[in-house]
Amino acid sequence: MMFNKIEVYYFRGIKSAVIDNLGQVNLFWGKNNCGKSSLLDAIFLVSGMSNPLLPLTINQMRQYGNVSPDGLKVNFYGFDTQTPIRIVATDGEVRELTIEAAEIGAAEISTSGSGDGSSLSSSVPTSYGLRLHYSRNGGQHESSLFFDPSKGTDTAKQTIDSTYEERLKCFYLSPKYDFLASIQGLTNILQNKDEQFIIDGLRLIEPRVRDFTFTGGEMLVDVGASKRLPINVMGDGARKIVSLLTAIYDCPNGLLLVDELSNGFHYSVMPSLWKVVAYAARRNNTQVFATTHDIDSMKGLRTMALTEPEGNGLAISAYKLQRNIDDVLTSYRYSVESMDYAFEQEMEIR
């Protein structure tokens, strides 16, 4: 199951966006604040569209946890909750998600004025939240998430349509990913005796890797030294490689979203990083969506695709994203062969 088209309407700073001709490995690049991360968030939402907690999850990943009525408006275009968010994904079947803000009931409250006997009156909802309407090939379903102001924001009531079964797995690796949490997936790999999946991936950037163990919450790697090395001392790059591999392993036939893929890597290792991504994506039939703001990621992707066996025959697409003054997010697709044109035009985006 792989998306070949994504449509996003009235989500955050995006009034509309249509991304077509998606491949198995997709790189979104463009200037800061052009909408790259919002596009990944939209893909995440539609991939788990029955889960009413996901609109809060994507905000929490950006260190935003306000779930007041005003706080929930942040994901709506122009903070206008009168216009629902709409996301459509096509992968042989059509997935469509609509998110609406909702309030139930109203209670009048009065507050004393300045001591002159006057008072002010306003209304607050007895509950407020989000309604998610979603369909897959036409079947209509609904989930919701509501807060009761009288009980605070720590508790929420959620309802999910029990007749809908989500079959798609999606993993989101944010720039501030928790390495210790992400490598817990190593437990599944070890239980399934699939250690070679990680070893082969690590060898693409460090040929001396022989094996690894996972004990006491720590990953130890044998690189031929007298003792195994903790993965933590092998640098941020090695840790992120392991996180990428475990994430892809955990979503076979699904999606991996990686925001700011090149964070923590020197430009010279980008071809090797893409080699790992291509190897793992092909191995587990996972579709990858990644973002970047530097041209070295593009160059590394092109080098890998043209020189490494892992990239041979793999459907790869790169998209330059540009948001116009009307907040329409336009995408310009580059195949591996046409990426040179972008370089020649000096489309430096750091």
Dmax over CA atoms of the chain, in Å, equals: 83
Q: Which pLDDT belongs to residue 19?
A: 96
pLDDT, tens only, 244-269: 888 888 889 999 999 988 887 778 88
**Rg value, the chain, Cα:** 23
Residue type, 286: T
Q: Are 269 and 303 a contacting pair, CB within 8 Å?
A: no
How far from 61 is each of 37, 176, 196, 232, CA to CA, in Å? 11, 8, 31, 23
Q: How far apart are CA 336 and CA 43, in angstroms?
A: 23
Q: Which pLDDT belongs to residue 138?
A: 83
Q: Which long-range contacts (CB under 8 A, 24 or more apart) does 184-193 make?
A: 185/246, 185/247, 185/249, 185/250, 186/214, 186/219, 186/242, 186/246, 187/214, 188/249, 188/250, 189/246, 189/249, 190/214
Mean of all residue pLDDT scores within the chain: 86
Bridge partners of residue 8, in order along the sequence: 17, 87
- The residues near 40 (Cβ < 8 Å, ≥ 6 apart) are 28, 172, 257, 259, 289, 291
Question: HEC states along 212-266?
Answer: EEEECCEEEEECCCCCCEEHHHHCHHHHHHHHHHHHHHHCCCCEEEECCCCCCCC
Question: What single string gives the DSSP state of each residue in 184-204?
Answer: GGHHHHHHTT-HHHHHHHHHT
Q: What is the DSSP-derived secondary structure letter of residue 286? A: -
For the chain, list residues with pLDDT below 70: 1, 105-125, 152-153, 177-183, 236, 342-350
**5-107+118-176+253-344 maps to which CATH number?**
3.40.50
